[in-house]
Amino acid sequence: MNAPRDESLQDESFRTLCMVYGDFNRPVFLEEILHFISSAITNKAELESIRNAVQERAKRLEKQGRRGRPRAWKSGDWTQKAITVAYRRRVLDWSWPKITESIGMKPTKPNIRTVQRQEVLFAELVFNAIPAVGFWETGQVGTKLRGTALDNRTAQMWIQGKTGLPFVDRPAECKKIVLALAPLGMKPATDSWLRETNLLAGGKK
């Protein structure tokens, strides 16, 4: 007979799997969810009901994701350019005119605003990549990240997968970028969520 598993270790293992597989391998993610809850559910019909509900929810999310224009960060080229801008601004501390000129644009006010907007969009992506639990200072969600939150290897790989930031090669620089941009991304992320909610409710953009 198998020895009972330590519940705290089981919970921690499940949280890690959520971070690793959540967006990259949904079939594995679903199976782990079902495995995790099956010990508390003895009714097969109930387990099958949960399985169907999760699959149906995944289908709805996929359909919602196809609506409207694709977000800028769906392009790998855009993401790399955004990382370059963020690196020059947040790590090298370049001025906006210098950054704008460095990417082949005249440092005019409209062009500078365009580049700044690029950083805001990337900040939104970074904010959305941060897990909601255990990463923000108590009472400061969306305002201040914990200084040690980005030291965890699993967290780094999760954020790298979601944003393209090269934590493997440049962990210190990537940490600096995330600490700076994650709080800036809360407002645009909230605005995007409100727009999506309005669309789902049958409203207008």
Q: What is the DSSP string of 108-147?
A: -HHHHHHHHHHHHHHHHHHHHHS-SSSSBPTT-TTT-B-T
Asked if pLDDT for residue 5 goes beyond 50, the answer is: no
**53's tokens:** 């509900």
Nearest CA-CA partner of 104 in 113, 115, 94, 93: 115
Q: Is residue 141 predicted with pLDDT exceeding 70?
A: yes
Q: For residue 92, how far is the Cα from the chain centroid? A: 24
DSSP secondary structure string for all residues of 20-32: HHTTT-HHHHHHH
For residue 176, what pLDDT is reported?
A: 94
For the segment 133-137, the average pLDDT, to the nearest whole number, is: 84
What distance lies between CA 182 and its chain's CA centroid?
Answer: 10
Per mean pLDDT, which range of 30-34, 96-100, 177-181 is the poorest? 30-34
What is the pTM assigned to this prediction? 0.62
| Residues 6 or more apart whose Cβ sits within 8 Å of residue 150 | 156, 159, 174, 175, 178, 179
The pLDDT score that the predictor gives to residue 190 is 84
- Please report, as a single letter, which amino acid is at residue 92: L
pLDDT at 184 over 60: yes
Q: Residue holding tokens 């387990």?
A: 47
Domain boundaries defined on the chain: 7-65, 72-200
Q: What are the pLDDT digits (tens) for 43-102?
A: 666 666 666 666 666 665 555 544 444 455 556 688 999 999 999 999 999 999 999 999
Share of the chain above pLDDT 90, in %: 35
